[in-house]
Amino acid sequence: MSKNRIYMIIGLAVIILAAILFSGQILRSKNSTDSDGPTYEVKHGPLTISFVESGTIKARDQIILKNEVEGRTSITYIIPEGTHVKKGDTLIELDVSTLEDQKIDKEITVQNGEAAFIGAKESLAVVENQAKSDVDLATLTLDFARQDLDKYIKGEHPYELDKANADITLAEEELTRAKETLRWSKQLYGEKYISQTELQADEIAEKKKTLDTELAKKSKDLLSDYTYKRNLAKLQSDVNQAEMAMERTKRKANADVIQAQAELKAKESEFGRQKDKLAKVEDQIGKTKIYAPADGLVIYATSAKSGHDAREPLDIGSEVQEREELIYLPTGNSSKAEVMVHESHLKKVTKELPTIITVDALQGKTFYGTVESIAPLPDARSMWMNPDLKVYTTEVFIDGNDPTLRTGMSCQAEVIVKQYQDAFYVPLQAVIKIGDEFNVYAKAGKSFQPRKVKIGLDNNKVIHIIEGLKDGDIVLLNPPFKSTTGDSQNRNLSEQNSENNKDGMQEKIDNGLKNMETNRISAAEPNQQTNIKLPDTKKQFENLTPEQREEMKKKFEQMTPEEREKARQKSGGRNRQQGSKKRDPNEQKQ
């Protein structure tokens, strides 16, 4: 190999090595540049934790007049908005033509129902009278049958029996006499005192009396053996038939009366129902005119609503539906702000929190108020418009009776959650979460290293640092891991404090926070005593079987973030109590 070729190979290797070294320096320089970025110097000073929501001014005490006419109807007259009215003044008149037609139809129906009711009432009287007559006749027939039976057994049969016995007795006596006459006739004929013809006549007479006696005895036997039994059975049957006929008559009469009564009751109910319908129509006609129940200023309900609740202003010809709010009549000068609080702020907001209210129409004026109520469920209309939006209707009572506040004015309500006179804070995007711990990238020498911090509440712009940073520390605003940051804008802290000091606003806020904190501590004392006595959860977990641990793990995975946080609070109660001695006692845990 020639020397030139060797020199060429060595030179090429040197060039490649130099290029490698140069590119490594470039990469190191680039990495160093990437690791750096915007920074923030940790400072301490006044810090206000708050959030701002938009809302609408409404009268705190007002009378709401609604449409009570069923279905949909239209307005034929409405008093101009802003009119001062006296009690009893006509405010709204609704279309009554359809109801008037219904009234005429119902009056005709009521008259027909009344006629049917009267007819049923008279029919019932006729049926009851006929039923009584039929029952009386059946009762009389039964009585006669029983009397005939009793008369035959106790009267007719003994009489016929006695008569038969008398006939037999007479026949026997006449037979005896005929025999005696025949005996004397035979003696006289033997002595030739009478003729043979006379003797034969006496013999015939004796035979006749013998036959009469036998016939009388047979007649008695027929009476006893056949006639008596037949007549007795017939009369007893007549009694039974009369009893059953009376039972049928009573049942039929009772059924006829019940049917007539049911018919009367049905007609009466129908008559009453038609009268109620007529009364309802008349009541609806009365409700087509709405009068002022008290003195006040007329405000249309459509003017007091905004956002997705807004609709076309009320006017003659406007269609309204049942239970729709039409007019508000404020009964005083006290006002409130109705704001929609996003679900992300619910963990911060509680009753009695101080609030600063600014009204768009009253530039330069601020009003102090306190949170009075928070809806337990999200606003249904907002969820219908946007299922992903969950806002809760919150009422803020405004102090004082300022006449410049009018219903329907748009406003901004800044709810003051916490105020610190001296606190450390950093921009919200400087804090990231690694595992279960919060960290910032703080400058250590020439590089930035993660540092564990304890955080408090945030106002969507800066976050309160309880432990982990000191005055003058430099932190990265763009740490390697992105963190979730808020996008709402708050005012500058110094400007905010200077504005709050106007008109004694800061003093009101301090007193409001102090009162709320006192109530919160009083309510939390029993829970703190309970948390001190919690058992060691770690030891309990070690004593569980593998199946129990797996079941507990599945339950924990199915929990919501709020339920997990509560579980962590229970399991780490003692550690938190020890750590709470180092932090600000007025701090709320995030």
Q: Where are the domains of the chain?
A: 37-61+333-532, 98-287
Closest among 110, 76, 72 to 282, alpha carbons compared:
110
Rounded to 5, what percent of the chain is helix, strand, coil? 55, 25, 25
Least confident of 144-148, 511-515, 531-535: 531-535
Which range of 285-289, 455-459, 543-547 scores highest in mean pLDDT? It is 285-289
Buried b / exposed e across 322-343, counting CB within 10 Å, b at 16+?
eebebbbbbbeebbbbbbbbee
Per-residue tokens: 428: 């919200």
- Rounded Cα distance between 47 and 547, Å, is 49
Is the pLDDT at 303 greater than 60? The verdict is yes
User: What does the pLDDT look like over 534-568, one tens digit per residue?
Assistant: 334 444 444 556 666 666 666 666 666 666 666 65
pLDDT for 415 equals: 92
CA–CA gap between residue 95 and residue 77 (Å, rounded): 9
Residue 17 has pLDDT above 70, yes or no: no
| Least trusted range by pLDDT, from 94-98, 114-118, 262-266, 583-587 | 583-587
Percent of the chain with pLDDT over 90: 20
**Residue 464 has which token pair?**
């309160």
The pLDDT, as a whole number, for residue 413 is 92
> Other C-beta atoms within 10 Å of 447: how many?
10
Strand 289-291, strand 90-94: pairing: antiparallel
Q: Where on the phi/psi map is residue 131: left (φ > 0), alpha (ψ -120 to 50), or beta?
A: alpha
93 close to 289: Cβ distance less than 8 angstroms: yes
Higher pLDDT, 455 or 507: 455
Write out pLDDT tens, residues 492-516: 444 444 455 556 777 777 777 777 6
37-61+333-532 has which CATH code?
2.40.30.170
State phi, psi for 384 to the nearest 5 degrees.
-70, -40
Which amino acid, residue 551?
A: E
Q: Taking the CB of residue 370, how many other CB atoms lie within 10 A of it?
A: 19
CA distance 509 to 408: 26
Report the half-sphere exposure of 195 (CA within 13 A, side-chain side): 3
Q: Residue 517: its pLDDT value, please?
A: 67
> Out of 33-42, 259-268, 393-402, 555-564, which region has the weakest mean confidence (pLDDT)?
555-564
Q: With beta carbons less than 8 A apart as the criterion, state whether 481 and 450 touch.
A: no
- pLDDT at position 67: 92
- More confident site: 202 or 76: 76
Comparing 375 with 524, which gets the higher pLDDT? Answer: 375
Please give the average per-residue pLDDT across 131-160, as a whole number.
86
Distance (Å, whole) CA 191 – CA 313: 155
Q: Are 340 and 305 in contact (CB under 8 A)?
A: no
Query: Which amino acid makes up residue 312?
Result: E
Whether pLDDT at 588 is above 60 = no
Question: How large is the average pLDDT for residues 26-38?
Answer: 48
- In this prediction, residue 491 carries a pLDDT of 41
For residue 232, what pLDDT is reported?
A: 83
pLDDT for position 394: 93
User: Which residues make beta-bridge pairs with 59?
Assistant: 335
Q: What separation in angstroms does the CA of 457 have from each of 17, 47, 168, 418, 590?
A: 55, 10, 137, 8, 6
pLDDT at 488: 37
Per-residue pLDDT for 23 more than 70?
A: no
Amino acid at 278: L
pLDDT of residue 481: 55
Please give the residue that has the higher pLDDT: either 509 or 579.
509
pLDDT score for 28: 43
Q: Does the pLDDT at position 127 exceed 80?
A: yes
DSSP string, 253-309: HHHHHHHHHHHHHHHHHHHHHHHHHHHHHHHHHHHTEEE-SSSEE-EEHHHH--GGG
E strand or H helix at 126: helix 97-151
| Number of residues that this document lists for the chain | 590
β-pair partners for 247: none
At residue 390, φ and ψ (nearest 5 deg) are -120, 110
Using alpha carbons, select from 293, 417, 273, 257 the residue that is nearest to residue 351.
417
In this structure, how many other beta carbons lie within 10 angstroms of the beta carbon of residue 552? 12
Q: Where are the alpha helices (DSSP H) in 492-572?
A: 493-500, 505-532, 537-542, 546-558, 561-571
d(CA 125, CA 221): 57
Q: What is the DSSP string of 328-353?
A: EEE-SS-EEEEEEEEGGGTTT--TT-
Task: Provide the mean pLDDT of the chain.
Answer: 78
Strand order in the sheet with 325-330: 62-66, 325-330, 299-300
- What is the edge-to-edge ordering of all strands in the sheet holding 289-291? 289-291, 90-94, 72-78, 319-321
Q: What is the pLDDT of residue 533?
A: 38
Write the pLDDT tens digit of every residue in 202-246: 888 888 888 888 888 888 888 788 888 888 888 888 889 988 988
DSSP labels, 533-545: T---HHHHHHTS-
Residue 16: the pLDDT is 67
Q: Which fold has domain 98-287?
A: Helix Hairpins (1.10.287)
pLDDT of 579 higher than 60: no
CA angle 76, 82, 84 (to 5 degrees): 95
Q: Is the pLDDT of residue 109 over 90?
A: yes
Tokens of 332: 């005083």
Q: Rounded CA gap, 62 and 59, in Å? A: 6
Q: Across residues 304-318, what is the average pLDDT?
A: 72
Q: What is the pTM of this model?
A: 0.49
Give me the percent of the chain exceeding a pLDDT of 70.
76
Residue-by-residue DSSP string for 466-507: EES--TT-EEESS-SS-----------HHHHHHHHTGGGHHH
pLDDT for residue 495: 46
Confidence (pLDDT) at 556:
62
Q: How far apart are CA 371 and CA 338, in angstroms?
A: 10
Name every residue whose Cβ is closer than 8 Å to that of residue 160 and which is 6 or more positions away in sequence: 223, 227
pLDDT band at 114 (very low <50, low <70, confident <90, very high): very high
Query: 416 or 209, which is more confident?
Result: 416
317: alpha, beta or left, given left = phi > 0 and alpha = psi -120 to 50?
Answer: left
Rounded mean pLDDT, 360-384: 87
Alpha carbons within 13 angstroms on the beta-carbon side of residue 575 total 8
240: CB partners within 8 A, 6+ apart = none
Amino acid at 174: E
Phi first, then psi, for residue 479 (nearest 5°) are: -65, 165
